[in-house]
Structure 1
Amino acid sequence: MWRVLRASLLRVRAARDWARGAATGQPPKEERDPAPAPYRDTVLLPRTRFPAQLPGRLQPQKCGFSELYSWQRQRKTKKEFCLHDGPPYANGDPHVGHALNKILKDITNRFHMMRGYKVHYVPGWDCHGLPVEMKALSELQAQDLSAMEIRQKARKFAERAIEKQKSAFIRWGIMADWTNCYYTFDGKYEAKQLSVFQKMYEKGYIYQDYKPVFWSPSANTALAEAELEYNEQHISRSVYIKFPLLKSPPKLASVMDGLSKISLLVWTTQPWTVPANQAVCYMPNSEYSVVKCTNTSECYILAADRVESLAAILDMQFEVISTFKGIDLESGSCAHPTIPGKDSPLLPADHVTMAKGTGLVHTAPAHGMEDYSVAAHHQLPMDCLVDEGGFFTEAAGSELQNKAVLEEGNEAVIQMLQAAKSLLKEERYVHSYPYDWRTKKPVIIRASKQWFVNTANIKATTQEVLKKVKFVPASGQKRMLEMLDRRTFWCISRQRCWGVPIPVFYHKTTGESLINSQTIGNIIRIVEQQGSDAWWTLPVEQLLPREAVVGNHDALDYVKGQDVLDIWFDSGTSWARVLEDSDQQADLYLEGKDQLGGWFQSSVLTSVATRKKAPYKTLMIHGFTLGEKGEKMSKSIGNVVDPDVVINGGQDHSKEPPYGADVLRWWVAESNVFNEVLIGPAVLNAARNDINKLRNTLRFLLGNVAGFSPETDSVPASEMYVIDQYMLHLLQDYSNKVTEAYKEYDYSRVIRLLQAFHTRDLSNFYFSIIKDRLYCEEEKGLKRRSCQTVLAEVLDAVVRSVAPVLPHLAEEVFQHFPYKTELESVFRTGWINTSSVWKKPGLEEAVEGACAIRDSFLGSISGKNALEHEVVVVIEPGLFFELMEALQPEESSSISQLNEIMMASKTTLLTKLPKELASEEKIIEGNFLINLEGGDIREESSYKVIVQPAAGAKCPRCRRYTSDSALTVCPRCMEVIMTKSSPF
């Protein structure tokens, strides 16, 4: 019959929350000691030394994790999985963001290792850059340190941070060869980085130019966009300025004739940039108006769409004299508002917006990206009046020299505008403004000579490459493509000394740069042998090969460049050092969402530029960690979660208990990591409780396979009880689904599947049904061995399925297996192994049908002891009756498979109501739909259930009401006792 029927009905399983069988998998107290003396010794209660509570102190070394990575690398297999580790920054203690990232990676690696892949995972650290340099210097009081002194201090600081972080990662159970990591300050790494630089330079992707870049006055260095954060509440001193018209545009001569005091009305949020003004820009296709102020009779030119709103802002009455197209402003010019005798041409530009301001844009080429484009097109001067510290230079004039442009310099310019009667209004303006993400101070845009990667030339290829990369979640692809689309160049030079030097020399007299394949190649060879310190310690003549010097010059005519490479270039070239094959791609990069504009992007740009391929096949993107109420973590709020405290506990264990590493790992796995991830005391307590429930389920499994050997005692599936076969059927379904969830990196679904399986299908359902068989049947009999076979399979599958998430618990359980295993670690035994014979068509209908009847029965007794009742089931002849008859061939039974599912003392199966039915007995009616052959056979059958008090006495051994007397055991128990006591 099983060959004909097909599994399909799942709807009733969700309703099973039966009173018998706690969610923990522990039997009720009554069942833990079900038989009084003299029968207690005949009951087979669970036996295991596995502790019920989470110990939290199991050390990774006891689990063999330190050797595990090396062991799996030595396996002979062609299947390899490469997860390239994005380098955490070596500038602080480990935090929960590290935990989220590293544990996600470890879950991924362990899963692939157990599935037979040779995992390639080399941990790394990002060691250079301003944050490390600043923290190292903050520990010192000394001033005027040499470049080498700063580098030595920064290196020692980074090394200390690395050791702290590495120890934490090991404690979290992260599997790796911790003696073989990569560091961006290692000479061989630096040489590989410079090799990528050389290839990009030779292909024309790297160039030097004088152009505006984001500049951090607080750090005295250029910044890339990825190094900015935006303060949404920044307050600027915005001003409305008059630029007096000097030369009327030819097309507007007739309009302007007879009008006096005509000015262009300009708005800016950065008054300090006005001294550098070189032009005023307009939108050619937009409409502009000449308006007359009825109060002062002055005339202004501004966007037609802004007339009404600006009249209100300036508290003026405007009379529109004429309206025209912006293109009509062509060939006009205006006077500079603070520099007498200087004029500013009126120029067309597409970046002018009508959404705010006046529709006319003040243009300072040294202090704006769009301004620079206009200046380059029209060959305007690009003089920068601001130095590296953010102070006005001598060229800005004596009134401004040495004043900080973001502070007193800004005030001084406003005062100059007032003195020249060019200022119409000043007001506070709250808006989003870029800040240096390291110093948390505002940045400026400032023109300087820097080194750039021309991303415009490789953008199209990179975008096509990224379309072939799998993104998890898929929405990450669109976001990354949009970020890349906005990127026209990448400034890769930094004015620091803690980093990899840009291998360029400058002529002492002309300042002309010297860089070519020979100069770079020589530096690469030196750095590979001595590290990048050599750039600062060796003289020029050793760094600059004679044959590379151009013309009649000598090496001594040159000086070494002082800039270092952007740390995003540092980390973005990690693929060149870590991936073993030059053509290799990592299967996975896994980092936080901030890396869509950071490491993910710098990695693909450098790889496409040199190899025309992405360094990764899949990108997984996770969110940030927040407090459990969704708030940002802050010491002032007191909601910062320290992973070390989570594992080992705080000073007061009553307030900060030690949870152990697996609680931290469970938190990561159960979270929806693709959004922001919440953590706090409530979250951690819930995780500990969840793990303890799982422990108790595993403890029940371990205790009930005591004395069982899978090799010699297993029962073939065809000989098992139907409920046992059904459990294997569910186990295969669970195993397939959890494997697919791991493959899709959906670890929260793994946890949901695990919890549903061990609480609903095991603890609440299967355990409650089989306890009588486990405890009271003959120890080595077929009935008990049948369910023990299933328990052994379930134990094996559950432990393997949870091992990537909870490796400490999995190893602990594995060490408590009552039967011997060949290998010492669960991680060396492979992934879940199920059998196709477990999936039997029709099995589900039989058990689901019996469970539907059981639900009706249990629902009618309101949580009372089911064993105190007998059940009469009436089903008309047909397929449903045949299914139930297969579970109970005899009319009435207390030991049938159907009665076991009912958990009653006796079940009677009839095709019609009994004639002697008492009138007061309640009849419960129900229906069950059988759906077979993919819907070809659909049969809805009705059934009736009659619940009666048990007629027998309570058996003192098994507590079922099947005995003739309360003083004697029931026939089943008597047979078991006699068999056990028999010498044969």
Structure 2
Amino acid sequence: MTQQRDYKDTVFLPKTDFPMKAGLPQKEPGILARWQAEKVYAKLREARAGREKFILHDGPPYANGDIHIGHALNKVLKDAVVRTQSLLGKDAPFIPGWDCHGLPIEWKVEEAYRKKKRNKDEVPAEEFRAECRAYAAQWVEVQKAQFQRLGITGDWERPYLTMAPEAEALIVAELLKFAESGQLYRGAKPVMWSPVEKTALAEAEVEYEDIISTQIDVAFEIVESPIPELVGAYAVIWTTTPWTIPVNQALAYGPEVLYGLYEHEDGRKFICAVQLKNQVNERWLKDAGEIASWYGRDLAGTICRHPMHALGGFFAEPRPMLPGDFVTTDSGTGLVHMAPDHGEDDFALCKEHGINPKFVVEADGRYREDWAWLPRTDERSMSVINPKFNAPDGPVCSDLRQAGALLSASTDYQHSYPHSWRSKAKVIFRCTPQWFVPMDRPMAPFDYDVAPLGGVGAAVALGVRADRTATLRETALKAIADTAFYPDKGRNRIGSMVEGRPDWVLSRQRAWGVPITLFVDRKTGDYLVDPEVNARIIAAVREKGVDAWSEEAAPALLGPNYNPEDYERITDILDVWFDSGSTHAFVLESGTWPELQSPADLYLEGSDQHRGWFQSSLLESCATRGRAPYKAVLTHGFTMDAKGMKMSKSLGNTISPLAVMEEYGADIIRLWALSVDYTADHRIGPEILKGVADQYRKLRNTFRYLLGALHDYTPQEAVGVEDMPELERYMLSLLAELDARMKAAVEAYDFNTYTRALVDFCNEDLSAFFFDIRKDCLYCDHPADMKRRAYRTVLDAMFHALIRYAAPVLVFTAEEVWASRYPDAGSVHLLEWPELSDLKISEELSKKWLFAKLLRDSVLREIEEKRRNKEIRSSLEAKILFKSSGYFKEFGIPWEEFFIVSQVSMFLSEDVTLVQMPVHDLSDERRVIGTSENLYSSFVVQRIEHHKCGRCWRHLPEVTEDGALCGRCEDVVARLDAEAGAPAA
């Protein structure tokens, strides 16, 4: 055997410095610092100036702690929207913001007070608000850095804060628009109230949990009735809130419910719904026989007396039985006790019959000390939400039992009950004077042709004048119908909420927030409407913030025309949802950020915001502008743990995005967030993240291969499409199809499809197919050969398209890849959507290549089986024998390169019989491509006996000994040697 030459220097392996190991946690901060130093966001604004705008208005998170995985998902989705719209060539600025007022922040400051044994009520209000402001400011800076670490683009130097004086002034201005247009009223209605936080709560501040309550049956003696048999009998009510019995003022019946009169074994007679008799029997009635029955409507005019009537006064007053359409026979007794202080239905029905609330329960959940029926002295400090207060041996039940009115009491009733989202304590319905926005009052005409309310928002001329008679509810429902929702089911969700919601409760009894800046006439109870006074209030708040609304400042704010002693200065603050619901006004319209415009193209938040920010923004804008503040709404679900359970610190199943970035890098979080179906609840966990990291490695290796394969590529090497082999033209057609899918996904905000299409294309169409087939061409063909040039031309087109598609997803990696090939070309994030030729191939050709790919999968599986069994060491040691139809032979595909084998022999079906061989049928592939043609029948893989070429490693007949060259390699090496001036081998 002659000594063989080492041909490795004649093989063109991919060459790149781009590392396979990502090291994202170490690299990403440096890339982020470079973006900041080079002011990439500002350059992007400059590059897109004058283009069509796309505005995503950032829903403000609370500034009260490190970001969690829900924050990460939300901000990554927003970032993907902004970046893809910018990629399409639009001007898509992003102004991040924070919600800085409200209970979550105030509660944290109070927690610190409690640890220091300080009483918040003894601290001057300005000092307390200053601590809240400092707390919020601290967390704004922390979260700002954390969001930037996630790769979120935006104007981080100029975010919006609801606690900025100019923002507080504009929130006040928006409130005063409501006042000037008559869309405010002060009323006493039951609202959800937290005795722990001592304030009213919005529905969005409440969560529901299952609890077990005491259930009781209480007898009310009937003293008057148009039905003589009922006088002296007892109407029985059932309730799970014993604490409300001391404020009972009436009973309600269902007009169409059938009620029966029953005689108990103790001789007393009781009335309850016939349909519920079996349930009542189990609790206390004990199968008493029915005496008579009547429909509820027959009970009109019936009067009862309170079980504690002996206390006199309020308790001796008659308790009428009233018709209530809300009374059902789902549970209980079919009769409902009415406490207008503590129930919406109770309040409405009693008000209709002239019965007013008594305001018995204090802000902290305790009964007034002057109330006739009090807990015993040692229990006066007990709140009504205390289980002991409501227990069968608690003060209410004990007194009812002593009066002979407690028929049953047990602690086994499980049901869902509202709790404060912040303190986790149970809430109650409590009637207190509050400020409301009416949902069903016709809205008066308003005119905003000029800057509203003393110059705030002077940069905006809305030009709206409408003689509206529609209600806020009607206007909001129309706006919902005019809005696009992603997914569309969000329309029904928010629509049903708006359709059934009560009047908007604006007031809160707290300290940290924007004040309700109203002066109320002490004689008439009307609030003052004076544009000059309003202008002074707004100017003062703009100058000093919310501290400008003080008792000392009242005379100056009212001015010389009003006597401060004639007016009550309202000290309640605004519902924080009004703050965030007004952000469209001071962010999109105030002129502080002139690059923005209103309405926003998109609002994007979690599905819980249908009752939160989406709705408060909608109502605020509809009441002041007659339209929604957004054109479209996208909602995402909640992130669960790997088992589908809600994340909870107590369960220890939370995933911190900060920890994930420390271990894997931000691009892994981004890839996860944009891969899941975020329109529904979705999961994350250690194993899921490992899978995402594996996906990332495959994508990274795709780009690494492209960089290596395109080493020293220049445009002069490019080949026209018409001169390319069919495989290259097929791949360009697949790229065009991918491009169309990606664009459609961007327009639909469908990043799950967007990201998966990108991943699948890189893994399946490129790495496992195109790259694999053409690696022999890349490594071994001469650089000037047309096929190799065509391959690299297509790779260059692939690179420029894929790096742009990947940039909104893998923001750091895309920058690293781009800089590796074009170190002086600026940021990848300044690029626009790739320009591709709209190359399409015929359906017949497309079906041919689909079939060929499916055929290849079958062959490669069999080759791999041979390798596992050690019958061959590599696919190049294999040959394939096909028994097929003539059509199959005419495909024109270089099968050896296609299968990466050394020999493929084709036989017509009648030419040869493959006997005593493991033959593989391909009927499944024929079925998949939907054809009945007999394109092939079977194949077999065998070991080849020829020698191996020393350069391309194929086993061919012309290779005389292992290590010698095949004909193709001899020619290439000779050309290379000639070009290098070296003697031929």
Does structure 2 retain, via aligned residues, the 8 Å contact 1:505–1:514? Answer: yes
Quick one: which amino acid aligns to residue 957 of structure 1? R
Alpha-carbon offset, residue 569 of structure 1: 0.5
Does structure 2 retain, via aligned residues, the 8 Å contact 1:82–1:119? Answer: yes
Structure 1 residue 348 and structure 2 residue 318: aligned? no
The answer for the alignment partner of 1:502 in structure 2 is 516
Q: Deviation string for 1:87-106 (max 9, x for gaps)?
A: 00011121111111111111
The answer for the alignment partner of 1:405 in structure 2 is 384
The answer for the alignment partner of 2:6 in structure 1 is 38
Q: Deviation string for 1:934-957 (max 9, x for gaps)?
A: 99x985444665766646421111
Structure 1 residues 790 and 391 mapped into 2: Cα distance closer, same or farther (>3 Å)?
same
Q: Aligned match of 1:247 in 210, 224, 231?
A: 224
Partner Cα distance (1:128, 1:954) in 2 = 76
Partner Cα distance (1:318, 1:36) in 2 = 110
Quick one: which amino acid aligns to residue 410 of structure 2? E
Partner Cα distance (1:432, 1:799) in 2 = 51
Higher deviation after alignment, 525-534 or 320-329: 525-534
Alpha-carbon offset, residue 772 of structure 1: 0.8
Quick one: which amino acid aligns to residue 670 of structure 1? S
Alpha-carbon offset, residue 590 of structure 1: 0.8
Q: Aligned match of 2:27 in 39, 50, 58?
A: 58
Quick one: which amino acid aligns to residue 605 of structure 2? E
Structure 1 residues 116 and 262 mapped into 2: Cα distance closer, same or farther (>3 Å)?
same
Quick one: which amino acid aligns to residue 396 of structure 2? V
Matches within 5 A, 1:833-852: 833-837=835-839, 839=841, 842-851=844-853
| SS of equivalent residue, structure 1 residue 118 | coil
Alpha-carbon offset, residue 904 of structure 1: 3.0
Q: Deviation string for 1:510-558 (max 9, x for gaps)?
A: 87644554433321222123222211375211121334x3xxxx12443
Structure 1 residue 396 and structure 2 residue 371: aligned? yes
Higher deviation after alignment, 633-642 or 349-358: 633-642
Partner Cα distance (1:387, 1:964) in 2 = 99
Alpha-carbon offset, residue 389 of structure 1: 1.6
Q: Deviation string for 1:869-907 (max 9, x for gaps)?
A: 4456566556x55443xx4xxxxxxxxx34322333244
Does structure 1 retain, via aligned residues, the 8 Å contact 2:64–2:105? Answer: yes
Does structure 1 retain, via aligned residues, the 8 Å contact 2:180–2:529? Answer: no
Quick one: which amino acid aligns to residue 766 of structure 1? F
The answer for the alignment partner of 2:572 in structure 1 is 563
Matches within 5 A, 1:482-501: 482-501=496-515
Alpha-carbon offset, residue 332 of structure 1: 1.5
Structure 1 residue 48 and structure 2 residue 16: aligned? yes
Alpha-carbon offset, residue 308 of structure 1: 2.7
Q: Deviation string for 1:894-933 (max 9, x for gaps)?
A: xxx3432233324456667668x897788777679999xx
The answer for the alignment partner of 1:452 in structure 2 is 436
Matches within 5 A, 1:889-908: 897-907=894-904
Partner Cα distance (1:822, 1:244) in 2 = 91
The answer for the alignment partner of 1:8 in structure 2 is none
Matches within 5 A, 1:125-144: 125-140=98-113, 141=116, 142-143=118-119, 144=122
The answer for the alignment partner of 1:31 in structure 2 is none
Structure 1 residue 471 and structure 2 residue 466: aligned? no
Does structure 2 retain, via aligned residues, the 8 Å contact 1:280–1:344? Answer: yes
Alpha-carbon offset, residue 412 of structure 1: 2.1
CA-based RMSD: 2.7
Structure 1 residues 873 and 392 mapped into 2: Cα distance closer, same or farther (>3 Å)?
closer
Higher deviation after alignment, 400-409 or 414-423: 400-409
Does structure 1 retain, via aligned residues, the 8 Å contact 2:62–2:104? Answer: no
Structure 1 residues 131 and 36 mapped into 2: Cα distance closer, same or farther (>3 Å)?
farther
Alpha-carbon offset, residue 310 of structure 1: 0.7
Alpha-carbon offset, residue 754 of structure 1: 2.3
Matches within 5 A, 1:69-218: 69-74=41-46, 75-140=48-113, 141=116, 142-143=118-119, 144-218=122-196
Quick one: which amino acid aligns to residue 239 of structure 1? I
Alpha-carbon offset, residue 815 of structure 1: 1.0
Partner Cα distance (1:464, 1:37) in 2 = 81
Partner Cα distance (1:217, 1:859) in 2 = 68
Structure 1 residue 957 and structure 2 residue 934: aligned? no
Higher deviation after alignment, 921-930 or 54-63: 921-930
Does structure 2 retain, via aligned residues, the 8 Å contact 1:289–1:323? Answer: yes
The answer for the alignment partner of 2:444 in structure 1 is none
Structure showing greater relative contact order (alpha-carbon pairs closer than 8 Å, 6 or more residues apart): 1
The answer for the alignment partner of 1:377 in structure 2 is 352
The answer for the alignment partner of 1:616 in structure 2 is 630
Does structure 2 retain, via aligned residues, the 8 Å contact 1:522–1:543? Answer: yes
Does structure 2 retain, via aligned residues, the 8 Å contact 1:82–1:121? Answer: yes
Higher deviation after alignment, 282-291 or 807-816: 282-291
Quick one: which amino acid aligns to residue 806 of structure 2? V
Partner Cα distance (1:346, 1:176) in 2 = 62
Using structure 1 for the length normalisation, give the TM-score. 0.87
Quick one: which amino acid aligns to residue 542 of structure 1? A
The answer for the alignment partner of 1:892 in structure 2 is none
Q: Aligned match of 1:690 in 692, 695, 704?
A: 695
How many residues in Structure 1 have an aligned counterpart in Structure 2? 909
The answer for the alignment partner of 2:799 in structure 1 is 795
Alpha-carbon offset, residue 960 of structure 1: 0.8
Does structure 2 retain, via aligned residues, the 8 Å contact 1:274–1:364? Answer: yes
Does structure 1 retain, via aligned residues, the 8 Å contact 2:518–2:570? Answer: yes
Alpha-carbon offset, residue 811 of structure 1: 0.6
Does structure 2 retain, via aligned residues, the 8 Å contact 1:503–1:523? Answer: yes
Structure 1 residue 275 and structure 2 residue 254: aligned? no
Partner Cα distance (1:782, 1:872) in 2 = 30
Structure 1 residue 777 and structure 2 residue 747: aligned? no
Alpha-carbon offset, residue 770 of structure 1: 0.8
Q: Aligned match of 2:877 in 868, 880, 892?
A: 868
Partner Cα distance (2:396, 2:923) in 1 = 86
Partner Cα distance (1:920, 1:646) in 2 = 56
The answer for the alignment partner of 1:22 in structure 2 is none
Alpha-carbon offset, residue 444 of structure 1: 1.5
| SS of equivalent residue, structure 2 residue 189 | strand
Does structure 1 retain, via aligned residues, the 8 Å contact 2:162–2:579? Answer: yes
Q: Aligned match of 2:278 in 293, 308, 325?
A: 308
Partner Cα distance (1:939, 1:976) in 2 = 41
Using structure 2 for the length normalisation, give the TM-score. 0.87
The answer for the alignment partner of 1:826 in structure 2 is 828
Residue ranges of structure 1 left out of the alignment (5+ in a row): 1-34, 649-657, 888-896
Does structure 2 retain, via aligned residues, the 8 Å contact 1:852–1:928? Answer: no
Q: Deviation string for 1:412-467 (max 9, x for gaps)?
A: 22222122211111111222111111111111111111001112331122112112
Quick one: which amino acid aligns to residue 450 of structure 1? Q
Structure 1 residues 821 and 77 mapped into 2: Cα distance closer, same or farther (>3 Å)?
farther
Partner Cα distance (1:708, 1:361) in 2 = 83
The answer for the alignment partner of 1:291 in structure 2 is 262
Matches within 5 A, 1:411-422: 411-422=394-405
Quick one: which amino acid aligns to residue 214 of structure 2? R
Structure 1 residues 599 and 133 mapped into 2: Cα distance closer, same or farther (>3 Å)?
same
| SS of equivalent residue, structure 2 residue 129 | helix
Structure 1 residues 207 and 919 mapped into 2: Cα distance closer, same or farther (>3 Å)?
closer
The answer for the alignment partner of 2:729 in structure 1 is 725
Structure 1 residues 229 and 902 mapped into 2: Cα distance closer, same or farther (>3 Å)?
closer
Structure 1 residue 338 and structure 2 residue 308: aligned? yes
Does structure 1 retain, via aligned residues, the 8 Å contact 2:855–2:925? Answer: no
The answer for the alignment partner of 2:459 in structure 1 is none
The answer for the alignment partner of 1:628 in structure 2 is 642
Alpha-carbon offset, residue 304 of structure 1: 1.7
Alpha-carbon offset, residue 218 of structure 1: 0.6
The answer for the alignment partner of 1:17 in structure 2 is none
Quick one: which amino acid aligns to residue 50 of structure 1? F
Partner Cα distance (1:948, 1:644) in 2 = 54
Partner Cα distance (1:686, 1:770) in 2 = 28
Structure 1 residues 828 and 490 mapped into 2: Cα distance closer, same or farther (>3 Å)?
same
| SS of equivalent residue, structure 1 residue 433 | strand
Structure 1 residues 771 and 332 mapped into 2: Cα distance closer, same or farther (>3 Å)?
same
Structure 1 residues 924 and 207 mapped into 2: Cα distance closer, same or farther (>3 Å)?
closer
The answer for the alignment partner of 1:805 in structure 2 is 809
| SS of equivalent residue, structure 1 residue 58 | helix
Structure 1 residues 808 and 859 mapped into 2: Cα distance closer, same or farther (>3 Å)?
closer
